[in-house]
Amino acid sequence: MSELLNLFLIFAKVGVTTFGGGYAMLPILQREIVEARGWATEEEITDYFAIGQCTPGIIAVNTATFIGYKKRGIPGGIFATLGVIFPSLVIITLIAAFLQNFADFQVVKNAFAGIRVAVCVLILNAVVKLFKKAVTDVPTTVIFCLVLAISVLTNISPVFFVIIAGFAGVIIKSLEAKGKEEQK
């Protein structure tokens, strides 16, 4: 039970110290899970982020569920998930109760303007870290460039990109493995 409580508290710490939503949590999750605790490798956390993005829900919540499940099975997944969402639930409830009273104050507007900028930096940081881990060779660079270009130029659903990129990754890595086998 103490390990489940520990999962809850660690993910609650992530949830309470992160502003800006799921993407802003990624660097903090990476630091807590990979660097501080060693619960996952860099490659595993990148995979969790990718799968968390592909599944319904918030990426940080999905990642917490994966890590909790890895550590303690279904109960671990539940406790980690509850931990990461609990602070947001409490804070949002309090803000909702009082925001209307203060939303028009200039100091509140200014604070939100500053927070938005900080959140952009946190998201950019997560993108840079994910890019460094995911785009590692010519095939992944090509996939990245194609997805980036098509997503900027069209309104195609991100689901399409994820599915096609997944198939491309399977095909490319299979061809690479086959080529290595033939060289032997």
* Chain segment 100-157, per-residue pLDDT in tens: 777 788 888 898 889 888 888 878 887 888 888 889 999 999 999 999 999 999 999 8
pLDDT tops 70 at residue 21: no
On the question of pLDDT at 36 being above 80, the answer is: yes
pLDDT at 24 over 90: no
d(CA 148, CA 65): 28
The per-residue pLDDT for 22 is 65
Q: Please report, rounded to a whole number, the percentage of residues in the chain having pLDDT higher than 70.
A: 97
User: Which pLDDT score, from 0 to 100, does residue 81 have?
Assistant: 93
Q: Which two tokens stand for residue 83?
A: 């931990």
Note the pTM of the prediction, 2 decimals: 0.62
pLDDT tens digit sequence for 44-74:
888 888 888 777 778 888 889 999 999 999 9
Residue 118 confidence (pLDDT): 85
pLDDT of the residue at 180: 82
pLDDT attached to residue 145: 94
Tokens 């491309």 sit on residue: 168
Nearest Cα neighbor of 52 from 33, 72, 75 is 33
Query: How high is the pLDDT of residue 88?
Result: 85
More confident residue, 40 or 56: 40
Position 20 scores a pLDDT of: 63
User: Two tokens at 155?
Assistant: 């309104």
Share of the chain above pLDDT 90, in %: 29
pLDDT averaged over every residue in the chain:
87
Domain ranges of the chain: 2-133, 135-184
Which distant-in-sequence residues (6+ apart) come within 8 Å of 145 by Cβ? none
Q: What is the pLDDT of residue 82?
A: 95
Q: What pLDDT does residue 123 have?
A: 81
Q: For residue 61, is it left (φ>0), alpha (ψ between -120 and 50) or beta?
A: alpha
